[in-house]
Structure 1
Amino acid sequence: MANYARIVNGVAVDVSATPESDFHPAIAAEFQSVPDTVRAGWKRNAQGEWSAPSAVTPPAPAPDRPQVGPTTFKILWSSPERLKLKELRPSDPVIDDFFDIIEDTRMEYIDLALSSTQDGIDYCLQQLITTGVVAEADMLTRREEILSGTMK
């Protein structure tokens, strides 16, 4: 069986065994004979050899982040972390605002997938590093532990 391809910039963009019946005559006229193995997306090098495109590895999906209640959210932080954040609240408007939202009586759950929640957690962790409650080397681990929503 013969194989034909319409080639644009060295790439087989359309492949057909019967381009004259599969495409408009003006487009069918652009087809050239190619080896039977060639498929759409294959590339032809300067020597006229065909190769399949490199496999595309999709990016890893973002981890699923749960929704947790306000009390559970607070318990995700260790006791020393909670105490230091409570101490910092009066002098740090960002921490105070973050926990005001968490503690709002209308708040049913905290969505750990929201970038605003993650930004608040990151900010709090940075302050805990600055004050020596969390080691800088442990920040990413603590971040993932909190964002997992799993109490320990």
Structure 2
Amino acid sequence: MNSINRILIAGSFLLLAACSPKIYGTVQLVDANLQPIQAAQDSPQGSIVNMINTTGSIGQSSHAVTVDVEGKFESEKEKVTPGMYKVEASRIGYATETETVEIKKFTGKKIEFKLKKILEGKRATIKGAASDEDKIINPGEVSIQPPSM
């Protein structure tokens, strides 16, 4: 085998390795009006993207990665195999987004998630009775139990 053939074969293997299936994309944080949240307020870094293979064997069923400071994520090499995937992006304080994708041999799938900020509810203070005299008790509804030892 001459050196040109060896180079072509080696190049083919490198090309196939570079074309392994992958899931990649971006995560953007948005407010209730779907407007981007500025990085100074909150960053997508640390968000989790979970890739669940719904057609694979149990050993290859799930793979998770964290999002970088630029909001980008990419599956690790050889962790994604051809099949159907449920891909979830999540971050504390934001609604989880899910997308179903099909991954084929030698292809990748780009997904762009927009995680919507969850609005926090107003807090209410609950005040109890100021004294035992303020409590109204119907003796027919009271059950007294001896203390447990």
Same fold (TM over 0.5): no
TM norm structure 1: 0.22
TM norm structure 2: 0.22
Greater CA radius of gyration, 1 or 2? Answer: 1
Give the structure with the larger helix fraction. Answer: 1
